[in-house]
Amino acid sequence: MKKRVTLTIENNILDQVDKEVDGHKIKNRSHAVELYLLKALGVSVPKQALILAGGEGTRLRPLTHEIPKPLIPLQSKPLLEYSLDLFKKFGIKDIYISIGFKGDKIKEHFGDGSKFGVKITYIEEDEPLGTAGPLRLAKRYIKGSFIVCNADELKDIDLVDMFLFHKDNNASATIALTSVDDTSKYGVAKITGNKILDFVEKPKKEDAPSKFINSGLYIFEPEIIDYIPEGSAMLEKDVFPKLAREGKLFGYPFAGYWKPIGTMEEYDEAIHDLKKEKFKL
């Protein structure tokens, strides 16, 4: 619940606040002030994040014959480190990484995280558990709202604004949505207001319910873990449809950079974007 208040503020401070308003990322003066207050109070983002890094990366062979996909290099830095950079940017340093395929190499590279300015705890999969299964293994560590993201994407998302959106909607789960022109390669969100009703798999452009797709980053409440079946499970098939039916699944559209890195073509595009500084945290 929000309350209307009246504040008396120096003109020069208001001028600085107004410079932050762009009508999209920061919608108005009230929105800007709220974000400033959240940051000042230190309650602006979840304190824990889980990175899903257990996949085999078969479409990136031969690169992934020897190393797991999260360790493929991008400008002399492994792909997974860019997710750490995003979280550190927002003060999130309690990191959990689910590992499976060649997970020992990920542990060897990142260790306890101290060299990277974070604390890392590993969630080890004895067998592949999909995108949802690792959350059950991490349940004993979760202490409140938490972030989950895929390890195989570059993304720049305002996590403060996303968390504010998540709380404003009293959501159990919020998916960061990015827009694409070619919807035929993705699951496309069917939305009403801020709620996600469903995902339509790989529709033609003329049949797509929107241009918004799942970007692979989520804010969850601990209760969603109870929706996950035992063993291997997928967020996309086993969890999100249940939450959508109950009106607990929300979509947060963002305009920041996003690039999946699942194929050699996408890998080449990411290298080009980094060289041209199209992506820069």
The CATH code that applies to domain 44-275 is 3.90.550.10
* 2/21 Cα distance (integer angstroms): 20
Choose, from 202, 205, 242, 275, the residue flagged as catalytic.
202
Least confident of 41-45, 49-53, 60-64: 41-45
Average pLDDT score over residue span 228-239: 92
Top pLDDT among 194 and 2 is at 194
**94-142 pLDDT, tens per residue?**
999 999 888 899 999 999 999 999 999 999 988 889 999 999 999 999 9
Distance CA 137, CA 261 (A): 26
Please check the confidence at residue 25 and state whether its pLDDT lies above 60: no
CA distance readout (Å), 238 to 114, 135, 225, 230, 234: 35, 13, 11, 11, 5
Does the annotation mark 139 as catalytic?
Answer: no
Model pLDDT, residue 39: 63
Least confident span in 2-6, 228-232, 251-255: 2-6
pLDDT at residue 33 is higher than 70: yes
Rounded average pLDDT over 81-86: 96
Give domain limits for the chain: 44-275
Mean pLDDT of the chain: 87
187-192 and 94-99 beta bridge pairing: unpaired
**CA proximity to 252, closest of 123, 127, 172, 161:** 161
pTM to 2 decimals? 0.84
- CA–CA distance, 199 with 186 (Å, rounded to integer): 9
Q: Is 218 within 8 Å of 199 (Cβ atoms)?
A: no
pLDDT class for 18, splitting at 50, 70, 90?
confident
Q: What is the pLDDT of residue 95?
A: 97
